[in-house]
Structure formats: C-alpha cells, structure tokens
Structure 1
Amino acid sequence: MKKLLITALLMGTFSMSYAQSDYYNDYRRSITDINWQTVVADLLLSTTQANQVYSLNDRYRDYDTWNRVYVVDPGRWRGDRYSELERILGREKYMVFKKKYYRGQNPVIVYGRNKNDYKKYRKQKEKYYKERAKSYKKQHKHHGHND
C-alpha cells in the first residue's frame, strides 16, 4: 500500500509541474497587466501605500522564489496577494480598484483559469490525507491503543 501511495503521490507531483508554471504565469500577469503608477494616481495613494504596492509586486521576482512559497498550494497566491493588496489600500480603495480594474469581479476569479486543475489537485491531496489518516488509525489499533 505504501508503494502505491508513494507512486500516486509522485505521479501527482510530476503531473502538476505544468500547472505550477501556469499559476506562476497568472501571478505575473496579475502584476504586468495593470499599470500600477496609474492605480497609485487614480486612488490617490500615499507614498507609503505606493511603496508597499510596489514592494508587493516585487516580492517574487522569479519562478523559484514564488514556487518555494506556493509549491504545495499554487492557487493560494491569489488569496494571499489580494488580501495583502486590500490591507495596503484599505477596504474602500480596494473596492474601487476591484471595480475599475476587474469589472467588479473578484481578482481571484480573474486569474483563476487554472481552477479546474486546482480542484483536481485538491482532490488528490484530500485523498492522500484520508489514506494517511486511515493508515494512522490502523497502526494505532494494532499497537493496542484504545480510542
């Protein structure tokens, strides 16, 4: 059973490598598709806010630095990025930003074209953890532990 589980896990890891780069490409597009200087001017951001936005945009300059953080859950970048952006801009300015630059849609959806890959990935991960939980329970029953 362990060999089967390891094989399935490895296959999932290798099959997700293409999807990982798609997630990273979406991340990069979320930065490059927008003229951030215009955003700063339109929203009348303070110098501190502007610097924080630029810093956020420069956080992961290449795939490797991004992947170190999001290797396990590549779709998480969206929630992380936009909650951080909302924190920097404040709720009101964030809503104006979202309405103007994303036509009122949640940015997570705008850059969520890989959501079907992510659902598949999440199901694989859930199945893996359920299997681990079962084997854990079996091991503890065999050792005479009573729950």
Structure 2
Amino acid sequence: MKKLLLTVFLVGTFSLSYAQSDYYNDYRRSISDVNWQRVVADLLLSTTQANQIYVLNDRYRDYDTWNRVYVVEPGRWRNDRYSELERILGREKYIIFKKKYYRGQNPVIVYGRNKNDYKKYRKEQEKYYKNQEKYYKKQSKHHGRGHGHDDDWD
C-alpha cells in the first residue's frame, strides 16, 4: 500500500512539474517569438511604452520566479501578460499588434492550443453567461414582486 501511494505521489509530482514547465516554455516563447524592437518601431511606440514592454518581458527571468506566481494556476500567465500588454499599448495599437503578430487571434489562445485551454475557456465563459442570465431573471422576478409589497400595507 505504501509503495502504491508513493508511486501515485511521484507520478503526480512529475506530471505536475512537466505541465508547469510546458506553461513556462509557452511563456518564454511568447517573448522570444516576437521581435519586440520591430513591434516598437512598427507601432511607433513612445520610449515609455517601449521601456514598459521590456520590463514586462523581463518580469520573470527564470522558471523559479515565474513559478512562484503561477504555481497554482499556470495558465493564468497568458491573461495576465496580454492584459498588461494591452494596457501598455492601448486598445487600438493592441488590436494592430494582434492582427500583425498573431494573425488576428487572441494570443492567449495561440499559446494554449495544446492544453485544451480554449475549450476550458469557452466552457467557463458559457457557464458565466448562463449564471448571469439566471441572476438577471432572478433579479427581474424579485423586482416584480417588490412592487407588489406596497399592496400588503393596505
């Protein structure tokens, strides 16, 4: 029994670390696959914007610093990185960046294709909208009943 538990623990540990390193490799590729000097020139970015991009690219220089932040949810790096990039570039330049460097696709999906993250994202998004729909239906029913309470005082 102890050997079985130890085996399960070791397999789980190695597969988790393997998955983590895959995410980290995607993170590094998202930086190295793009010529950031060309991005700065093509988008006519200010010196401040260029410096902010370089700081963003240098934020996690090695696996350990990256892993401290993303150990629990490694796929989150994509949303964090690209929302920060959008903030730096501004909405219009970010859209141009996406079109030119990711062929109009969301970079979050470009670096998550092999892990079924897109399916997971779509499922979560559908669940969110269903919950929102239920919430608003419940609210409208609640507000509808709320008007009837005035009659109770007569």
The TM-score with structure 2 as length reference comes to: 0.68
- The verdict on how the C-alpha distance between 1:117 and 1:9 changes in structure 2, with shifts beyond 3 A counting, is farther
Give me the whole-angstrom Cα distance separating, in 1, the residues matched to 2:53 and 2:79: 16
Which string of whole-angstrom CA distances, capped at 9 and with x for unpartnered residues, describes residues 60-88 of structure 1? 00000000000000000000000000000
- The verdict on how the C-alpha distance between 1:11 and 1:117 changes in structure 2, with shifts beyond 3 A counting, is farther
Shift of 1:17: 1.0
Q: 1:116: which partner in 2?
A: 116
Give me the whole-angstrom Cα distance separating, in 2, the residues matched to 1:9 and 1:73: 20
Shift of 1:46: 0.3
Shift of 1:116: 3.0
Corresponding position: 1:76 with 2:76: yes
Give me the whole-angstrom Cα distance separating, in 1, the residues matched to 2:50 and 2:118: 32
Q: How does 1:1-147 map to 2 (within 5 A)?
A: 12-116=12-116
Alpha carbons 2:85, 2:94 under 8 Å: kept: yes
Give me the whole-angstrom Cα distance separating, in 1, the residues matched to 2:8 and 2:119: 17
Alpha carbons 2:27, 2:77 under 8 Å: kept: yes
Give me the whole-angstrom Cα distance separating, in 2, the residues matched to 1:28 and 1:47: 23
The number of residue pairs the alignment matches comes to 117
Shift of 1:115: 2.4
What is the aligned-residue identity percentage? Answer: 89
Give me the whole-angstrom Cα distance separating, in 1, the residues matched to 2:80 and 2:41: 24
Alpha carbons 2:109, 2:117 under 8 Å: kept: no
Alpha carbons 1:75, 1:118 under 8 Å: kept: no
Alpha carbons 1:49, 1:88 under 8 Å: kept: yes
Q: Secondary structure at the match of 2:74?
A: coil
Give me the whole-angstrom Cα distance separating, in 1, the residues matched to 2:60 and 2:44: 26
The TM-score with structure 1 as length reference comes to: 0.71
The structure that has the greater radius of gyration is 2
Structure number with greater CO (CA < 8 Å, separation at least 6) is 1
For structure 1, the residue ranges without an aligned partner over 5 or more in a row are 1-6, 121-147
- The verdict on how the C-alpha distance between 1:33 and 1:12 changes in structure 2, with shifts beyond 3 A counting, is same
Give me the whole-angstrom Cα distance separating, in 2, the residues matched to 1:118 and 1:67: 22
Q: Secondary structure at the match of 2:84?
A: helix
- Aligned Cα RMSD in Å? 2.8
